[in-house]
Amino acid sequence: MALFRFKDSKTQDLSESLARETKRQFSQEELFQFAAYDPNAGERGGYSDYSYWRSTLRAFRKNRVAMFFLCVILATLLFTFLEPLLPYDREPNTIYYSEQVQMNLFTRQPILDEAGNPVVKVALAKDMRPGSEFWFGTNAIGQDLWSQIWSGTRNSLFIGFAVACVDALLGILMGVLWGYVRKLDFFFTELYNVFDNVPQTLVAIIISYILRPGMGTMIFAMCLTSWLATARFVRNQVVIIRDRDYNLASRCLGTPTRRIITKNLLPYLVSIITMRMALAIPAAINNEVFLTYISLGVPLETPTLGNLVEAGRKVMSEPLLRYQLFIPVIVLALITISFYIIGNAFADAADPKNHVN
């Protein structure tokens, strides 16, 4: 059982250093002495240059892993914009043709002409494996995957950021009001129930009938429902702390609601909210994958990670074509993992008790 016992490293450190200190001999200067009476001491004011956000950033910067993943995200973001400037000039939506050796369908041998050379024909460059001509290969209709991936990542990140921003703004505002103001509790509970129970699929279908299908429509449809989860999440946290003694004291002293929310409630929730927000971006991207799965995604001429994953999923059973699935999934996973780790590290850094050391 000794293996499963967790040694509390901090306690151990403390007791060790305490033991060391007590064994030591002290010189005269280190021992306590009575201070002389100083009449000016009472006039001295205290001053601390502690700033919450600066300390949070400092604690965050100490976390090497999180900084690395922050760089990964920034580099990916930058690269999706720089990618069209590379000397590799392939368009995401152009269908490419290439010279290919003709194969006999039955014998799987190249067809030879009279001179014994393989017959070369210009054909649709479909399902080409990654190579020097197409860096990430091509998809089932001959489009270049490299440029599709990067333009898809750009579009997906854009969708993710847009949805997460609306999510954060609406979700936190509604959530705090819902949780803190008791008179609004019933109203918001019922509002939540209404929005939550009208199926997202139905809303997405209707919106794509009324508006033109595309990225804007997609973002709008996702924003309509995504803030709900955040609002409920924040609301639960607020309900838990709203009757704590320090809030009661503030209320007794007549602090206005707005001030209680910004000074008492939100600072308490910073760590949890940042983690939630960091997960909101990948969640939006994954939601897009789901909408594409039930064929409500953006049109195919706008490549997104959702479209690419869905296209790759269809050729999954063919072992040679699995690169079409794995490349977008790896990019997607990298983005999600980075956001998760950054969010977690920031949440740790946002706790003021971790600022001291």
Partner 1 sequence: MAKYIGKRLLRSLLTLFLIMSIVFILLRQMPIEGYFQNFEKMSALQIKVGLQQLGLTDPLPVQLANFWKGVLTGDLGVSHKYRVGVDVLEIIAGKMPLSICIGMAALCISLLVGLPLGILMARSTRTRWKLGDKLGTVFVVVIQGVPAAIYYLLIQFYFSRLPGASMFFYMDQPTTWILPILSLSLGNTAYYAMWLRRYMVDESNKDYVTLARAKGVPTAAISRKHVFRNALVPLVQFIPTSVILTLMGSLYVESLYSIPGMGGLLVTAIQGQDNTLVQALVLIYAAISILGLLVGDLLMALMDPRITLGKKEGGR
Considering beta carbons, is residue 125 or 273 the nearer one to partner 1?
273
| One-letter amino acid of 75 | A
- Three-class HEC string of 259-298: HHHHHHHHHHHHHHHHHHHHHHHHHHHHHHHHHHHCCCCC
- Choice from 95, 124, 239, 321 touching partner 1 (CB under 8 A): 239
Nearer to partner 1, 103 or 240 (CB): 240
**Partners of 123 in the beta sheet?**
98
**Which residue lies nearer to partner 1 by CB, 171 or 282?**
282
Q: To the nearest whole angstrom, how small is the minimum distance from the Cβ of residue 3 to partner 1?
A: 12
Binding of partner 1 by 345 (CB under 8 A):
no
Stretch that binds partner 1, among 9-17, 40-48, 116-124, 164-172 (CB under 8 A): 9-17
- Residue 69: in which H helix or E strand, if any? helix 64-82
How far is the first Cα of the chain from the last one, in angstroms, to the nearest whole number? Answer: 33
Q: Under the criterion CB under 8 A, does residue 272 sit at the interface with partner 1?
A: yes
Quickly count: other Cβ atoms within 10 Å of residue 17's Cβ: 10
Helix (H) or strand (E) holding 339: helix 323-349
Amino acid at position 10, single letter: K
Residues in contact with partner 1, total (CB under 8 A)? Answer: 65
How distant, in Å, are the alpha carbons of 86, 137, 281 from that of 328? 20, 12, 17
Site for partner 1 in 290-319 (CB under 8 A): 290, 293-294, 309, 313, 316
Binding site for partner 1 (CB under 8 A): 6-11, 180-183, 186, 189-190, 192-194, 196-199, 201-203, 205-206, 209-210, 236-237, 239-240, 243-244, 248, 251-252, 257, 271-272, 275, 279, 282, 286, 289-290, 293-294, 309, 313, 316, 325, 329, 332-334, 336-337, 340-341, 344, 347-348, 351, 353-354
